[in-house]
């Protein structure tokens, strides 16, 4: 932030910026105009008034001494550097300066999500371990967590319209207690988000067990979602 204060009882005009600092008042310079005050010509024009204390530069927190004021004005921040946004360059940005454009990207960028697809071709039976493929039973060929982060949820789909079942999710081994159990009735498809994401480590073993509770599921596909 940049604030220019006038400590005198007389209005001070800055020709280079075309702005007036009111008597015994101040102007808050928004990001789109910072570059005008960073120009060497503007700094030169304000030098006498800054050195005399007639103009005081504030960084949004503190009034700066003359030496610090000149150093602050000469810094080059992303804030205040113009950024050509939509519609000039058709890039869908709203921001008009680099600082805000960077923050805009951060606000809309999704964290890395890594999916793992699990397939079971045929009718599932109670106690089946669902792995990468039913050709690779999930208890003998464990799923390996691809990234350190969290297991956030999964999608479920199968060929039958109304199976009743549960899925148990375990880490480390098939005999550890499930950290999450999903129990459903008459469910063909679903998109499930864990109430509490489960912390995972890259390379960790992961297991999914099918528990039959009525009509059997068949030709099932699960997509596990891991978030960095």
Instruction: Report how far residue 123's alpha carbon sits from residue 85's, in angstroms, rounded to the nearest whole number.
Output: 54
Boundaries of every domain in the chain: 2-74, 82-109, 113-227
- pLDDT at residue number 113: 84
Please give the CATH number for the structural domain made up of 113-227.
2.60.120.40
- pLDDT at residue number 87: 60
- pLDDT at residue number 214: 84
pTM over 0.85: no
Instruction: Report how far residue 220's alpha carbon sits from residue 218's, in angstroms, rounded to the nearest whole number.
Output: 5
- pLDDT at residue number 218: 95
Strand 180-184 and strand 12-14: the pairing is unpaired
**Going by C-beta distance under 8 Å and a sequence separation of 6 or more, which residues neighbour residue 105?**
none
**Residue of 83, 92, 77 whose CA lies nearest to 34:** 77
- pLDDT at residue number 100: 72
Question: Helix (H, G, I), strand (E, B), or coil: what is residue 88?
Answer: coil
What one-character DSSP code corresponds to residue 213? -
- Cα separation of the two ends of the chain: 33
Taking each continuous run of H as one helix and of E as one strand, the counts in the chain are 4, 13
Vertex 101 angle, CA 98 and 107, to 5°: 145
Vertex 159 angle, CA 154 and 162, to 5°: 85
* Mean pLDDT per 10-residue interval, the chain, length 228 residues: 93 94 93 83 94 94 93 72 62 69 68 90 95 93 95 96 94 96 95 95 96 92 94
């Amino acid at each position: 932030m940049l604030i220019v204060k006038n400590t005198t009882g007389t209005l001070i005009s800055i020709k280079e910026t075309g702005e007036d600092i009111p008597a015994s008042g101040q102007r808050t310079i928004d990001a789109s105009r910072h570059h005008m005050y960073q120009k060497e010509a503007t700094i030169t024009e304000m030098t006498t008034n800054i050195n005399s204390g007639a103009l005081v530069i504030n960084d949004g927190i503190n009034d700066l001494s003359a030496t610090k004021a000149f150093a602050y004005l000469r810094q080059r921040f992303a804030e205040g550097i113009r950024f050509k946004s939509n519609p000039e360059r058709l890039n869908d940005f709203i921001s008009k300066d680099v600082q805000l454009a960077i923050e805009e990207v951060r606000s809309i960028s999704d964290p890395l999500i890594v999916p793992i697809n699990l397939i079971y071709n045929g009718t599932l039976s109670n106690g089946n371990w669902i792995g990468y493929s039913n050709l690779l039973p999930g208890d003998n060929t464990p799923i390996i967590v691809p990234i350190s982060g969290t297991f956030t949820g999964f999608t479920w789909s199968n060929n039958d319209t109304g199976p009743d079942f549960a899925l148990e999710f375990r880490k480390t081994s098939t005999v550890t207690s499930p950290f999450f159990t999903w129990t459903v009735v008459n469910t063909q498809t679903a998109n499930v988000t864990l109430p509490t994401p489960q912390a995972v480590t890259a390379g960790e073993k992961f297991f999914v067990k099918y528990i039959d509770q009525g009509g059997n599921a068949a030709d099932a596909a699960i997509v596990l979602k891991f978030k960095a």
